[in-house]
Structure 1
Amino acid sequence: ILVLLCASTGSEPPSSPQVVEDGGEEDEEELSGGEEADLRSSSGRGSLLTRRGITLRVLLKDGLVEPGDGVLAIHYLGKNFVGDLLTDGKIRWVETGQIFNSPSAWATHCKRLVNPAKKSGCGWASVRYRGQKLVQYKTTWLHKYQPSADMSLVSEEDDDEDEEEGKAAVQADDKNKNTKPGLHGIISSSPSSSLCLSLLLSSPLPSSHPHLFDVTDVMVSRRTDRERIPVRYCTLGTRDAARDPHTLVELSAFSAINRFQPFNVAVSSNVLLLMDFHCHLTTSEVVGYLGGRWDTNTQLLTVLRAFPCRTRLADRDSASAVEEEICQNLFMRGLSLVGWYHSHPRGPALPSLQDIDSQMDHQLRLQGSNNGFQPCLGIICGPYYHGNQGVASTITPFWVVPPPEQRPNDYGIPVAVEVTYVQDNFLTSDVLNEMMLLVDYYRAAPDLVQFNQYWCPDTTMLDKIKGSLSCHAPKDQAYSQILEHVYSQLGSMH
């Protein structure tokens, strides 16, 4: 059963980890133990050992490197991958447990997750052992055992494709000193929402029933309600630690960056209704997850359910319990995790620099160990921004395109996602129940919106939320009586 379950998720049971041999165009085929022994016994250290012969096994046998957990790393386009060096010279990727025969195979696999167009990995120049590139250990080996060798043997095909990556690695290492290590993934802060999010798909459940993630850390970020003026992406340039991470960025169109949207999206109106309701209840930022299905044949992502996170900011203990509940809800409904949403209560519904980085992380996590493409949709809801048209919230679906390879220190490019909204016929009991749970949860909250106050001279906050939710109204008008009961509960929360 374990084998069948793991096979459906693209992972492998611990007793038989998946071995990946493909290394792309510059695959460094590893010699078998016998071939390696024959080559070295016939040539001796006085003879030249070809590039193909200098393998991780050679470096291990001669003591230049040692096996260990987490000693290998790849830094690529702002993303970090950690690997274990095994005693037989193979590499185990910490994130998924997959086994790779060579540095090239691992580097190519990881880089394709970030950039599907990537053809090869330049493994020995990209993989670092305890902070130093593996290609430098080849050089050390030759200097020690074959000092007369032509140094071109070291890097016949190991040229560093991206010297920028090397420069970025040191910056990434410094940055990561302040992050919490973890075997299952990087805990990433939800940009403007202050809530930390990590999409960890590590449980051996069927692919349509993914184990959720583990929100284990929550940070409080108090900001004034000052007007944040969005900037254009082209003005950002290289990453700058001094730049405000809450800087909002205008969305680009796929056509503006000479791309086509790689997937289609359909979103249920009930998803919008529940998400919009959640975002209206509090003056603080909220976060939630999106459940649905991904059809690889039609390249259609269907978003069928919203799952609000009912947690207080900085409440770690309740966060894990809430996410476990959401996980079970996904499982029982046969849905997959397909994205996330969060709110900008009083600001434009545009991604911040932190949102961009978080979305990139989530896209990578959701794709996981599968070689096939799977999108992750991000949605931002702006309920109380006075720049909105009328009382309706602005709802912005977005995605992030990796920066160009020649500029790995740039931010990802936030792009607008074209979405088809599917009108539901009725309000489901699931959605109604979730709305009442949210009402109960926020009833005594200090950041509860005062619905008897005025949004504008002739519209109360309660009228405002009613007007916004009417934009997602089911076709069956009987829902209105049900929602009036919900609204009456809001009116009594003061």
Structure 2
Amino acid sequence: PSGSEPPSSPQVVEEGGDEEDEELSGGEDAELRTSAGRGSVLTRRGITLRVLLKDGLVEPGDGVLSIHYLGKNFVGDLLTDGKIRWVETGQIFNSPSAWATHCKRLVNPAKKSGCGWASVRYRGEKLVQYKTSWLRKYQPTADMVREKNSTVKTSRTRTKQAGLLTSTLKNCFELTRLRGDRERIPVRYCTLGTRDVARDPHTLVELSAFSAINRFQPFNVAVSSNVLLLMDFHCHLTTSEVVGYLGGRWDTTTQLLTVLRAFPCRTRLADREAAPVVEEEICQNLFMRGLSLVGWYHSHPRGPALPSLQDIDSQMDHQLRLQGSSNGFQPCLGIICGPYYHGNQGVASTITPFWVVPPPEQRPNDYGIPVAVEVTYVQDNFLTTDVLNEMMLLVEFYRAAPDLVNFSQMWSPDTSILDKIKVLLRMTHHPNSTCSVRVHGGPDH
């Protein structure tokens, strides 16, 4: 209860003696801002105790957290879900800031905030140091990057991107295995509330608009029609969920993300051990073409092209991992393709570009908010040799697969699946037509 007396022993004075020493020092703040690239928004809101637990930088345990403030000592347990339990009263707090603010106000009622990451210690070290370690691991600082030559920098970037590919492929395999073909009814984000381990991770969530959460889309996106064609073609070949990656460029001056290439993963459930080889090939292709990894796509073969709770968490992880360092903030685009959902209009697939906004700081254990991303589609004048070659490799890869689509089956009373694909290919890339895919929540393109 808020009226209880704070513990009085042992009396340990914080190093320096003043409450100002508990606040984030200028050096640490600058380091965090440099590492995050975007300032403190994603640093404060995106990196939570749950993230540190998930990536193994800290472990749950009894009495591993502590606060020393104006001669008072507070001890807390770190729970497996990232929450904090105050040992003295058993109260549960959602974040270091919430716990620090509560404890400090017991000692000093005039205290306005707790500065939790600088005040709370994990096994004797300030939590902010663990946050800095996370940023160094996944978002190298500008100085660290400059210290390395171009070969080492390329290797580091490729390693980070390969790690992203690994996690996405693993998630995709699990989703395909568990999801099946059962009908899933999308829910509104506002009905989700706090995370619940009993909730089905494959629950689909409707997209919000940036305007609905009082935000502006923080970047512009242009996608090549060749990307759409290859992505849509890949998703049409198999009844299983597929995954692929998006290569492109990020212009910090115009805040424009240009998606220039799709890189399908030629993998199936039966050959998940081959994933490292596929990932290395994609990394090599990206760097040979001077492109960066700017996003990923996957399919919901027979369901709505909306993100699941698992997709939302995966997208949030990707956004954090792909944050820029010396180049500043870089977005990561997620795309879902729904090729065989009978709720689609006509033969067109539904294509859903989305992004995830972190939950409010005061509700760190909520799911991220999936929002629709407005995209400009750029019509290419011709198919490149790379795209044609990739299409042939995909056909060869799935030719003898047990999950190959039966193209002779009827999609509608007067259209076979093969006819459906032919129409899509013709409409998607005919120089005098517009793209045939349907963007979720928007008009036909």
TM-score range, shorter chain: 0.5 to 0.7
TM-score by length of 1: 0.61
Cα distance change on mapping 1:162 and 1:307 into 2, 3 Å: same
Given candidates 90, 113, 133, the residue that maps to 2:65 is 133
Paired with 2:59 and 2:228, the residues of 1 have a C-alpha distance of: 47
Match of 2:162 in 1: 213
**What is the CA RMSD across the aligned residues, in angstroms?**
4.3
User: Does the aligned pair in 2 maintain the 1:350–1:380 contact within 8 Å?
Assistant: yes
Shift of 1:133: 3.2
Deviating more after overlay: 382-391 vs 210-219:
210-219
Question: AA paired with 1:397?
Answer: P
Paired with 1:301 and 1:400, the residues of 2 have a C-alpha distance of: 16
Paired with 1:334 and 1:159, the residues of 2 have a C-alpha distance of: 46
Paired with 2:233 and 2:389, the residues of 1 have a C-alpha distance of: 13
Cα distance change on mapping 1:302 and 1:208 into 2, 3 Å: farther
Paired with 2:114 and 2:181, the residues of 1 have a C-alpha distance of: 46
User: Does the aligned pair in 1 maintain the 2:37–2:329 contact within 8 Å?
Assistant: no
Shift of 1:260: 0.6
Aligned 1:182-331 pairs, distance under 5 A: 204-205=153-154, 212-214=161-163, 215-216=165-166, 218=170, 219-220=173-174, 221-313=177-269, 315-331=271-287
Match of 2:338 in 1: 382
Shift of 1:216: 4.2
User: Does the aligned pair in 2 maintain the 1:210–1:337 contact within 8 Å?
Assistant: no
Q: What's the secondary structure of 2:390's corresponding residue?
A: helix
TM-score by length of 2: 0.67
Shift of 1:456: 1.7
2:86 is the alignment partner of 1:160 = no
Paired with 1:420 and 1:278, the residues of 2 have a C-alpha distance of: 21
2:41 is the alignment partner of 1:115 = yes
Task: Name the one with the larger helix percent.
Answer: 2
Match of 2:416 in 1: 460
Given candidates 1, 7, 17, the residue that maps to 1:50 is 17
User: Does the aligned pair in 2 maintain the 1:246–1:352 contact within 8 Å?
Assistant: yes
2:324 is the alignment partner of 1:364 = no
Shift of 1:470: 2.8
Paired with 1:46 and 1:446, the residues of 2 have a C-alpha distance of: 68
Paired with 1:46 and 1:476, the residues of 2 have a C-alpha distance of: 75
- Cα shift readout 1:222-269 (whole Å, capped 9, x = no counterpart): 334221111111111111111111111110111111111110000000
Paired with 1:46 and 1:267, the residues of 2 have a C-alpha distance of: 57
Aligned 1:39-78 pairs, distance under 5 A: 49-51=16-18
Cα distance change on mapping 1:108 and 1:434 into 2, 3 Å: closer
Question: AA paired with 1:244?
Answer: D
User: Does the aligned pair in 1 maintain the 2:356–2:368 contact within 8 Å?
Assistant: yes
User: Does the aligned pair in 2 maintain the 1:274–1:431 contact within 8 Å?
Assistant: yes
- Cα shift readout 1:35-63 (whole Å, capped 9, x = no counterpart): xxxxxxxxxx99994248979xxxxxxxx
User: Does the aligned pair in 1 maintain the 2:410–2:416 contact within 8 Å?
Assistant: yes
Question: AA paired with 1:204?
Answer: K
Match of 2:144 in 1: none
Paired with 1:273 and 1:48, the residues of 2 have a C-alpha distance of: 61
Question: AA paired with 1:340?
Answer: W
Match of 1:433 in 2: 389
Cα distance change on mapping 1:393 and 1:133 into 2, 3 Å: same
Question: AA paired with 1:361?
Answer: D
Deviating more after overlay: 312-321 vs 214-223:
214-223
Cα distance change on mapping 1:453 and 1:184 into 2, 3 Å: farther
Shift of 1:315: 2.8
Larger radius of gyration, structure 1 or 2?
A: 1
Matched residues, number = 348
- Cα shift readout 1:389-427 (whole Å, capped 9, x = no counterpart): 001100010000011001111111100000000000001
Q: What's the secondary structure of 2:178's corresponding residue?
A: coil
2:443 is the alignment partner of 1:443 = no
User: Does the aligned pair in 2 maintain the 1:392–1:471 contact within 8 Å?
Assistant: no
- Cα shift readout 1:90-116 (whole Å, capped 9, x = no counterpart): 9xxxxxxxxx96599559966967834
User: Does the aligned pair in 1 maintain the 2:35–2:325 contact within 8 Å?
Assistant: no
Cα distance change on mapping 1:107 and 1:157 into 2, 3 Å: farther
| Percent sequence identity over aligned pairs | 68
User: Does the aligned pair in 2 maintain the 1:210–1:331 contact within 8 Å?
Assistant: no
Cα distance change on mapping 1:133 and 1:444 into 2, 3 Å: same
Cα distance change on mapping 1:445 and 1:117 into 2, 3 Å: closer
Q: What's the secondary structure of 1:240's corresponding residue?
A: coil
Cα distance change on mapping 1:419 and 1:50 into 2, 3 Å: same
Contiguous gaps of at least 5 residues in structure 1: 1-44, 56-89, 91-99, 144-150, 167-182, 186-201, 478-494
